[in-house]
A and B are shown apart, each in its own frame.
Chain A
Amino acid sequence: MAEFEPKIVAFVCNWCTYAGADLTGTSRIKYASNVRIIRFPCTGRIDYMLLLKAFDEGADGIIVSGCHPNDCHYTSGNFHARRRWIMFRSLCDFTGIDTERIKFSWVSAAEGAKWADIVNATVTSIRELGPYTDYKKVAKYPEKEVSHG
């Protein structure tokens, strides 16, 4: 059997992390190719539901990343986001969702190397955790016949 390649979805803000990831590329820093980047105007725009949807659709891990505190293009979007993540992460943990699979980070436009590190570290840790079968089992509802009751 081929080695498990985790699917990672990254929700990143346009102004810092996306630019940072760009820099990673232009600096020719190599990093794991398991990540699908989805660009948002701001981390403040990242709805809770998007994270769950990523797991629904088969993601094994999630990276959420934006501007460092005080660096938000819209002044406070990341502060709002941080507060939500504090609560949402705790709620996920409380319901038994594996919060080890959701990594939060601040990556600025100048931190191309940090982005590569974050992605590599995430891929390594998710690879160790294995596929997120718990959530997939629940999400792949159509695969099994509905039982009575």
Chain B
Amino acid sequence: MVDLIKRAKELIETSTVKVVIGYEQGTANKTRALFVEKAEDADKLMFDSRCVQNLAAYVTKREVKEKGKMAITATLPVMRSIIQLASEFQVNDNNLLVLGITPESKFIEFGNLVEVETFVHQYTIEIDARNKEMLDKLEKMSPAERWKFWIDELTPCFKCYACRAACPMCYCHRCTVDFNQPQWIPVPSHELGNLEWHIMRAIHLTGRCIDCDACYNACPLSIPLNLLTKKMLEDAKEHFGGYQPSLKGGHLMSTYKPDDKENFIQ
């Protein structure tokens, strides 16, 4: 990642950006986010297959944003998140520069978000084989079996909201669960509160989730909550020709076609 480090240094030295968000070696063989504000710190930047945290979660974090223009080390999932965030007016060319890393681990710098979008659009979002298998398995179950599966999986959730915190798309200052007038979702962690929280999370991410698995990776209990958003992704493919983040906006769930097909409305 010599190129990345070199470019990060230049960007800081020339004051093109105030902070470069990247990965550094963490503790116990983990990697973690690094915020480079001084050129000499750029030497700590690194990249390898362990760098799976979706750094796009930081571009909407108040304390990071307040630093000024950002550059972000972006793998394909991060780029997708950035495009989705841009289409929701959370970032733009004036406050964000993308230092891309291709799926082949090559450094690639983008001049603007349109170039990022073009790059991103070369790839479709595909659900990995293991999860695909899990989805198929669940779909073959009876509703009662699925109900049992999800109650079993979701009941251990203690609602730490790590899934929400790690998700780049969960940037709302006040999440639905934080509303108490009305109290949409019960605050305590119990069967009902957990079930409703996870259903709500999934539906709010439908048409926005780029399938980076940040939520699953963040979960301290490894609850397979990403299956919910993966299912929505599959459905989007089935009903609306798939989902691909786009600067043009026109989100899956905020648009419609007069000839959308369904088979359940009487």
Binding site for B on A (CB under 8 A): 48-49, 52-53, 56, 69-70, 76, 79-80, 82-99, 103-106, 118, 134, 138-139, 141, 146
Q: Can you list, as one digit per residue, whether each of B206-238 has a CB less than 8 Å from chain A (1) or not (0)?
A: 110000000000000000000010011001100
Q: Is B172 an interface residue (CB 8 A)?
A: no
Nearest CB to that of B138 among chain A residues? A94
Nearest CB to that of A81 among chain B residues? B256
CB-defined contacts of A95 to chain B, threshold 8 Å: 146-147, 150, 195, 198-199, 228
Is the pair B192, A70 in contact by a Cβ cutoff of 8 Å?
Answer: no
B133 CB, min distance to chain A CBs, angstroms? 15
Q: Is B143 an interface residue (CB 8 A)?
A: yes
A49 vs B191: C-alpha distance when bound (angstroms): 16
Q: Is B36 an interface residue (CB 8 A)?
A: no
B81 CB, min distance to chain A CBs, angstroms? 20
Is the pair A138, B192 in contact by a Cβ cutoff of 8 Å?
Answer: yes
Report, as a range, how many residues of chain B touch the other chain: 35 or more
Q: Is B202 an interface residue (CB 8 A)?
A: yes
- CB contact under 8 A between A48 and B260, given known A96-B145, A138-B191: no
Is the pair B146, A49 in contact by a Cβ cutoff of 8 Å?
Answer: no
Nearest CB to that of B227 among chain A residues? A94
The listed residue (A84, A99, A106, A138) touching B253 by CB distance below 8 A is A84
Is the pair B145, A91 in contact by a Cβ cutoff of 8 Å?
Answer: no
- CB contact under 8 A between A106 and B265, given known A83-B253, A83-B260, A87-B235: yes
Top 9 A-B residue pairs of the complex, sorted by shortest distance between their CB atoms: A96-B147, A96-B146, A79-B256, A105-B266, A138-B191, A104-B265, A83-B256, A94-B231, A49-B184
Is the pair A87, B206 in contact by a Cβ cutoff of 8 Å?
Answer: yes
Can you give 21 contacting A-B residue pairs, CB < 8 Å? A48-B203, A49-B176, A49-B184, A52-B196, A69-B258, A70-B258, A80-B256, A82-B265, A83-B240, A83-B260, A84-B253, A86-B239, A91-B199, A91-B235, A94-B139, A94-B228, A96-B144, A96-B145, A96-B146, A106-B265, A134-B144
A104 CB, min distance to chain B CBs, angstroms? 4
CB-defined contacts of A134 to chain B, threshold 8 Å: 144, 147
Is the pair B143, A93 in contact by a Cβ cutoff of 8 Å?
Answer: yes
Q: Is B262 an interface residue (CB 8 A)?
A: yes
Known: A87-B239, A91-B199, A141-B190. 10 other contacts (CB 8 A): A49-B176, A49-B184, A49-B200, A70-B258, A86-B262, A87-B206, A90-B232, A91-B232, A95-B199, A138-B192
B147 CB, min distance to chain A CBs, angstroms? 3
Is the pair B199, A52 in contact by a Cβ cutoff of 8 Å?
Answer: yes
Is the pair B147, A97 in contact by a Cβ cutoff of 8 Å?
Answer: yes
CB-defined contacts of B148 to chain A, threshold 8 Å: 96
Q: Is B185 an interface residue (CB 8 A)?
A: yes
Q: Can you list, as one digit per residue, whether each of B131-151 has a CB less than 8 Å from chain A (1) or not (0)?
A: 000000011000111111111
CB-defined contacts of B147 to chain A, threshold 8 Å: 95-97, 134
- CB contact under 8 A between A91 and B260, given known A96-B144, A138-B195, A141-B192: no
Nearest CB to that of A76 among chain B residues? B256
The listed residue (A48, A76, A104) touching B266 by CB distance below 8 A is A104
Is the pair B149, A90 in contact by a Cβ cutoff of 8 Å?
Answer: no
Nearest CB to that of A96 among chain B residues? B147
Is the pair B264, A104 in contact by a Cβ cutoff of 8 Å?
Answer: yes
Is the pair B235, A146 in contact by a Cβ cutoff of 8 Å?
Answer: no
Q: Is B254 an interface residue (CB 8 A)?
A: yes
B263 CB, min distance to chain A CBs, angstroms? 10
CB-defined contacts of A83 to chain B, threshold 8 Å: 240, 252-253, 255-256, 260
Nearest CB to that of A134 among chain B residues? B147
A131 CB, min distance to chain B CBs, angstroms? 15
